[in-house]
C-alpha cells in the first residue's frame, strides 16, 4: 500500500496537471477571486491588513494573486514546483511580483521554508488545503508551525473547507455518489466514498476532454482526506495555540455555521 507522502506526491505532482485542469478553470479562478475578496474583507475588518500573509497550499495562486492585487503582501507555499512556477509567472504578468512571492515548500516544514519571510500577521488555508491529508498529529504540527512563524495576535483562517458534518449528511442521503462536473473543456466524473469509522473520504476522479460530441479519456486520479467537524477542528487548533474567534457561513461576513455550507473559521493566537 502506498504511504501518505507517495499518495500526495502522485496527486499533486506526478498527476498534478490533472488537478490543475480543475484549479485553473474559469469557474475556479473566479471562485478564487471571490474567496480572496472575502478573506480581505475579514482581515481588514479585524485589522490584519498590515504585515505579510501566508497562503498554505497556494496552488497556482488563484487566491494569493487577487489578494496581492487588493494590496496584501503575500507569500504562497506549495509542494508542487510546477504550481509554484506558474504562480510566480502569473504574479509577474499581473504586475504584483513585488507583493506576491511563491516558494516550493512542504507545509510540514513551513517554519524552515519561510525563515527569510517571517513573521506573518495572518495565515490562510483555503479549499481543504494541507489539513487532513496526514494524521491528526501532523495536522497539529502544521498548525503549530504556523503559530511559530506569526506575530502576536495573528489570525489563522481556514476557508472553503468541507466539513465532516456536511459529508455525514451527504452520505446519509446519497451514499456513495457519482457527480459530473464541467471545467472549461474538461469533464470530471467524481466518486466519493466516506468512511464514518475513520472520518476519511476517498475521492476518485476520471478526466475527459470534450471533443465535438465525444469525450476522450485523458487520465484518472484519486486522493484521501480526513474531515474534521467544527468542534474537532477547534480542538486541533487549540492544541497548537489557536483560539476560535469567529465562524462564518460564508466569507462575505454572515456569522454562524451550517453543515450545508463550506467551513469558514477564523482563529487568533491564544493569549499566553
Pairwise CA distance, residues 255 & 198, whole Å: 30
Per-residue pLDDT of the chain (272 residues; tens, 9 = 90+): 457 799 999 999 999 999 999 999 999 999 999 999 999 999 999 999 888 999 999 999 999 999 999 999 999 999 999 999 999 999 999 999 999 999 999 999 999 999 999 999 999 999 988 999 999 999 999 999 999 999 999 999 999 999 999 988 877 777 767 899 999 999 999 999 899 999 999 999 999 999 888 999 999 999 999 999 999 999 999 999 999 999 999 888 788 888 888 899 999 999 86
* Distance (Å) of CA 193 to CA 3, 103, 130, 201, 241: 19, 33, 20, 6, 33
pTM above 0.75, yes or no: yes
Amino acid 253: pLDDT? 77
Pairwise CA distance, residues 240 & 148, whole Å: 9
Pairwise CA distance, residues 73 & 75, whole Å: 7
Amino acid 1: pLDDT? 41
Amino acid 252: pLDDT? 83
Amino acid 272: pLDDT? 65
In the chain, what is the greatest distance between 2 CA atoms, to the nearest angstrom? Answer: 62
Does the domain formed by 4-162+228-269 have CATH 3.40.50.150?
yes
Alpha helix segments (H runs only) across 94-132: 110-113
Domain edges within the chain: 4-162+228-269, 165-225
Amino acid 2: pLDDT? 57
> CATH: 2.60.120.10, 3.30.2320.80, 1.10.287.3510, 2.20.25.110. Which one for 165-225?
2.20.25.110
Contact partners, residue 106, CB within 8 Å, separation at least 6: 79, 113
Amino acid 4: pLDDT? 75
Amino acid 149: pLDDT? 98
Amino acid 242: pLDDT? 98
Amino acid at each position: 500500500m502506498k504511504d501518505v507522502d507517495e499518495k500526495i506526491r502522485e496527486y499533486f505532482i506526478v498527476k498534478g496537471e490533472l488537478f490543475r485542469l480543475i484549479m485553473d478553470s474559469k469557474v475556479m479562478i473566479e471562485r478564487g477571486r471571490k474567496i480572496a475578496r472575502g478573506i480581505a474583507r475579514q482581515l481588514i475588518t479585524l485589522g490584519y491588513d498590515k504585515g505579510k500573509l501566508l497562503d498554505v497550499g497556494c496552488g497556482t495562486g488563484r487566491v494569493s494573486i487577487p489578494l496581492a492585487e487588493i494590496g496584501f503582501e503575500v507569500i504562497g507555499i506549495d509542494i508542487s514546483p510546477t504550481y509554484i512556477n506558474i504562480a510566480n509567472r502569473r504574479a509577474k504578468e499581473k504586475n504584483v511580483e513585488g507583493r506576491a512571492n511563491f516558494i516550493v515548500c512542504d507545509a510540514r516544514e513551513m517554519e524552515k521554508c519561510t525563515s527569510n519571510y517571517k513573521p506573518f500577521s495572518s495565515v490562510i488555508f483555503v479549499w481543504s488545503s494541507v489539513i487532513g491529508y496526514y494524521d491528526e498529529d501532523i495536522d497539529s504540527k502544521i498548525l503549530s508551525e504556523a503559530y511559530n512563524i506569526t506575530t502576536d495576535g495573528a489570525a489563522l483562517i481556514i476557508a472553503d473547507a468541507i466539513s465532516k458534518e456536511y459529508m455525514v449528511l451527504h452520505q446519509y442521503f446519497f451514499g456513495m455518489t457519482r457527480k459530473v462536473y464541467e471545467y472549461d473543456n474538461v469533464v470530471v466524473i467524481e466518486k466519493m466514498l466516506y468512511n464514518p469509522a475513520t472520518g476519511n473520504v476517498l475521492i476518485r476522479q476520471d478526466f475527459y476532454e470534450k471533443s465535438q460530441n465525444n469525450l476522450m479519456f485523458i487520465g484518472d486520479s484519486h486522493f484521501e482526506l480526513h474531515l474534521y467537524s467544527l468542534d474537532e477542528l477547534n480542538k486541533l487548533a487549540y492544541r497548537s495555540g489557536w483560539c476560535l474567534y469567529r465562524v462564518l457561513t460564508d466569507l462575505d461576513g454572515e456569522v454562524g455555521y451550517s453543515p450545508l455550507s463550506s467551513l469558514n473559521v477564523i482563529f487568533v493566537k491564544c493569549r499566553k
